[in-house]
Amino acid sequence: MMHRAVPLAALLLAVTLILSHAQELRVGEAFSNPCANVDTCGECIRTAKICAWCSAEKFPRFASRCDLYEHLKTTCPPESLSFPKSDLKVSQNDNVRGGDGTSQPVQVQPQIMDITARTNEAINFKLTFRQAENYPVDLYFLLDLSYTMVEEEEAQKRLIALGQEMPRSMDNITRDFNLGFGTFVDKTVMPYTAWTTQMLRDRCPLQDKSCRAPHDFINQLKLSKDGPAFAARMEKALKAVSQSFDDSEGGMDGLMQALACEGQIGWRQRSRRIIVYSSNSIFHLAGGGLMGGATKNNDGDCHINSEGSYSPDDINYDFPSVGQIANKLDEKSTSVIFAVMPSVVDHYDNLRALIGNAEVGRLSDKSSNIIELIRKNYDKLRSRIHFIPRRADGVDFKFKSKCLGNVVQETAMCDNLEIKDSVTFDVSMTVSSDVCQGRSGIVDRSIELAAQGLNEKMTINLRIICDCECERPEMAKLDSDNCDWGNGTFACGICSCNPGRYGRECECSEATISSKESLEQCRRGNDTEVCSGYGECICGECECFALGSDTARQYSGEHCQCNDYTCPRSKDDASLCGGPTRGKCNCGTCQCLEGWEGDACDCSTDNSTCIASNGLLCNQKGSCDCGRCRCNATLKYMGPTCEECPNCPSKCSQYRDCAQCKGFGTGKYNGDQCTDLCQEIIKEDELEEGNDLVFECNFRDTDKCLFRFTYEYDENNDVIIKVQRTKECPEDVNLALILGPVVAGIVLIPLLLLCIFILIRNRRDRAEFARFMKEKDKARWESAANPIYKDPKSTFKNPTYNKDSK
């Protein structure tokens, strides 16, 4: 088989492209590339928003043209890169506002968006709704005119009063409202109603036998602003009742005609449309008209004649189904209030759950609460906004809003809105790639986000990108040299082969080997994947993909089933099969060289390292495994050769120097010696004590401080040294504390003794002096008291002494 030489430019591009992205992801990385294994540009851009396509003519053969945009944007020429982007433009964005009589109210903003979208890409935008004041209301009453509904005079009065009070009541809601009403009984054929004049008269419950002829539905009054006409026409209609033969009535026929006949009923284009359906009976549904000969399926169209009556087609068409009613209510943006008697409330509750935008109210006896019931249920409908996508097949919408609260929740509906309240929805739109099935180019769609019960909506003019520009017919190159010298059409960088040719470049001929046979040859045994999923089948032979950015590494084997880079790695240095000196990886299995064994060839067959000092293998206290001793744990022997035990001499001296230099940077080893000769140690605040398998060591460091370390052995009998961070040093002598008391004792004690001596002597002297003074005083007293005492002194005068001559 011959192949053309690969151009140098393609080889250069192969180097710059990260060829391995798709292949690496196939190997099983945590991230799965959604762009892998995609064959065409259109399929590529539809797969995920992050996918791009490179249509460059010179492109590496085994590289994936469809890849992550982040990978291709720097390697694929910009003019060859297909990466369409979604775009959003608001075409009409009138601000929400109320009705002021001169302009129409606006409750939904924006009104029109133009979006160009890729499939599977979320497009986000905001949608605002505001409860407008004086919003137009069209209120249409659909009344059961059978005798059982209005048989009592009081009930008739209440319904007539309804016609008179309703215009005044609506003034409190909005200044822009229209009122109208219609009536229903049942189909005008047997067995539903009297089918002859005589039967009608005979079965009439009125005393004067004045029952009117039954009817299926009559539009009694078109919607208008004429309140008095509404009241008068309702009073007239209610005074002429009719009758039916069965419990069920034809109300669903009337409801369908009131919805379908927009012009005859008078519905306005922009208004809140509400039908008030009042009855005391259940209703016929699809299939119920067959007994009367109404064999045509209800078509949901308007069949009111010029007199406003559903006749004569009512006897031809069957009653509508619940699904038809629900679809018509949604299509016409209309809400229903079922004002019914208590006996049938449950029945209408079940109907409400199926048709959606409706409320059920319980009428009291004689319908005395009908005005309040209508007002209450109108408020429920008015205060609720619910957006519903229409014509959105294949397009998914997600809504989020806080409504009137503070918590964001996933919802398309908000309740309890008052007039002038505004709510904003965050909308996310995603187009499914299924929309593009069987289609090409740009697919145009028009989608509506309709406000349920309102004729207001946001319209999305959607343009869906289903394929690439390079796939257009005018971009194709017929009989291109890129397709094996003219054997195919070249477009978007790939070949569409002519009949009889196949292959990536149309290089294979059906005449040589069929494409079916080619694929069979490229499958391994019963494997369903071609080339094991890691290569490309070219004319019956597998060409294997590269394993990574290093294109020299590729899958191998006839069917690319081998990966020579997934063998076990050595526990020592994580090298494949222990490195080239120990083994070689062959199709995922290590082939070990002589002297090595094990899954990763990291187990030495040499047992010399297991010989103990006594010449015995592991001291006969264990077994030699991969050149390492596995000591018998029950014997409590350990160490590289199982020669150590709790009672054996320790090797503290052997490990002292390493513990010293690694722990404190001291000892006989300098920095380089410590690094070269010593293993790493573990520093701890406190060391384990009392474990027989942990040896404790204590030594004095150069600073005379005591340092402590332990050593133990792990499961591989490798030593583990743990050093206590802090040393135990003797405390420094405080000379001042010692000399101070000594000096104080030498100086102060003699002084203290001298003071004591002086004190004692002084006390003794004072005592003796006191005794002396006492004795003296005693002698003086005795001399004064003696009566015979004579003074021993004698005084004589000299007669010759002359004082003046002196």
H or E stretch at 201: helix 197-203
User: Residue 16 is inside which H or E element, if any?
Assistant: helix 8-16
Paired tokens of 396: 């998914």
Instruction: Please report the pLDDT score of residue 150 as a whole number.
Output: 57
The tens digit of pLDDT for each residue in 504-537 reads: 889 999 999 999 999 999 999 888 899 998 888 9
Cβ-based neighbours of 731, under 8 Å, separated by 6 or more: none
Exposed (0-12), middle (13-18) or buried (19+): which is 321, by Cβ within 10 Å?
A: middle
* pLDDT of res. 371: 77
pLDDT digits (tens, 9 = 90+) for 643-701: 888 888 888 988 899 999 999 989 889 888 898 889 889 999 888 887 877 888 999 88
Cα–Cα distances in angstroms (integers) from residue 177 to residues 96, 223, 226, 306, in the given order: 20, 9, 10, 25
Could you tell me the sign of the dihedral formed by the alpha carbons of 225, 227, 228, 232, in that order?
A: positive
CA distance linking residue 688 with residue 362, whole number of Å:
83
List phi, psi (to 5°) of 3.
Answer: -130, 150
More confident residue, 425 or 60: 425
**Could you read off the pLDDT of 314-340 as tens digits, one per residue?**
999 999 999 999 999 999 989 999 988
Query: Which stretches of 146-196 are DSSP H helices?
Result: 147-150, 153-171
How would residue 25 be classed by pLDDT, with cut points 50, 70 and 90? very low
Residues 274-289 have pLDDT tens digits of: 999 988 889 999 998 9
Can you tell me whether residue 508 is helix, strand or coil? strand
In Å, what is the CA distance from 341 to each residue of 296, 496, 758?
A: 31, 72, 128
Of 730 and 109, the one with more pLDDT = 109
Q: Residue 439 and residue 262: Cα distance in Å, rounded?
A: 37
Strand-strand pairing, 108-109 and 81-82:
unpaired
Residue 28 pLDDT exceeds 50: no
The whole-number average pLDDT for the span 155-171 is: 69
Q: Is the peptide bond before 191 cis (omega within 30 degrees of 0)?
A: yes
Distance between CA atoms of residues 316 and 309, nearest Å: 14
Q: What is the pLDDT of residue 739?
A: 76
- pTM of the full structure: 0.60
| Residue 524 exposure: Cα atoms within 13 Å on the Cβ side | 13
Q: Using N-to-C axis directions, what is the helix angle for 322-331 and 345-355, rounded to 10°?
A: 60
Tokens found for residue 757: 């001596």
Q: Are strands 622-625 and 628-631 parallel, antiparallel or unpaired?
A: antiparallel
Q: How confident is the model at residue 109 (pLDDT cuts 50, 70, 90)?
A: very high
pLDDT at residue 470 greater than cutoff 60: yes
* pLDDT confidence of residue 377: 80
Q: What is the DSSP letter of 626?
A: T
pLDDT, position 173: 72
Q: Which residue did the predictor score with more confidence, 23 or 727?
A: 727
Helices (H), 665-734: 671-677
- Indicate if the pLDDT at residue 4 is higher than 90: no
Above pLDDT 90, what percent of the chain? 43
Helix or strand (DSSP H, E) at 684:
strand 682-684
SS3 for 108-150 is EECCEEEEEEEECCCEEEEEEEECCCCCCEEEEEEEECEHHHH
> Per-residue pLDDT averaged across 223-237, rounded?
87
R_g over Cα of the chain: 55
Angstrom CA distances, 410 to 71, 401, 403, 417, 427, stand at 35, 7, 10, 18, 10
For 495, the token pair is: 């070949």
Contact between 56 and 495 under an 8 Å Cβ cutoff? The reply is no
Q: Is 589 left (phi over 0), alpha (psi -120 to 50) or beta?
A: beta
What is the mean pLDDT of the segment spanning 385-392?
A: 93
pLDDT (tens digit per residue) in 205-219: 655 556 777 889 999
* Mean pLDDT, the chain, whole residue set: 85
pLDDT at 541: 93
Interatomic CA distance for residues 204 and 177, integer angstroms: 38
- Alpha carbon distance 46, 52 (integer Å): 10
10 Å CB burial of residue 286 (0-12, 13-18, 19+) is: middle
Q: Residue 325: enclosing H or E segment and its boundaries?
A: helix 322-331
Q: Examine the pLDDT at 782 and tell me if it is beyond 70.
A: no
Q: What whole-number distance in Å separates Cα of residue 289 and Cα of residue 381?
A: 32
- Domains (ranges, CATH) in the chain? 33-84 (3.30.1680.10), 87-133+387-465 (2.60.40.1510), 137-249+257-267+277-377 (3.40.50.410), 513-561 (2.10.25.10), 651-724 (4.10.1240.30)
Tokens of 611: 């010989």
Query: What per-residue confidence (pLDDT) applies to 751?
Result: 85
Q: What is the pLDDT of residues 559-617, one digit of tens each?
A: 999 998 889 998 878 899 989 999 999 998 999 999 888 899 988 888 888 999 898 99
Residue 789: the pLDDT is 58
